[in-house]
Amino acid sequence: MELLSDSHFWVGIGTLIFFGILLYLKVPALITSALDARAAAIAKELDEAQRLRSEAEALLAEYKKKRAQAEGEAAAILTEAKAEAERYAAESRTALAAQIERRGRQAEEKIAQAEAQAVAEMRALAADRAIAAAETLLATRLDDKRAADLVKRSLEEIPTKLN
Whether residue 148 is contained in a domain is answered as yes
Decide: pTM greater than 0.75: no
For residue 94, pLDDT beyond 90: yes
Q: Is 77 exposed, middle or buried (0-12, 13-18, 19+ CB in 10 A)?
A: exposed
Distances (CA, A) of 30 to 16, 48, 112, 116, 119: 19, 26, 119, 124, 129
Q: What's the rounded mean pLDDT across residues 51-72?
A: 95
Question: Is residue 17 scored above 90 in pLDDT?
Answer: yes
Within a domain: 1: no
Domain count of the fold of the chain: 1
Q: Is the pLDDT of residue 1 over 80?
A: no
Q: Could you tell me if 60 and 66 are in contact, meaning their C-beta atoms sit under 8 angstroms apart?
A: no
Task: Decide if 101 is inside a domain.
Answer: yes
Stretch 120-127: mean pLDDT: 90
Q: Is residue 2 domain-resident?
A: no
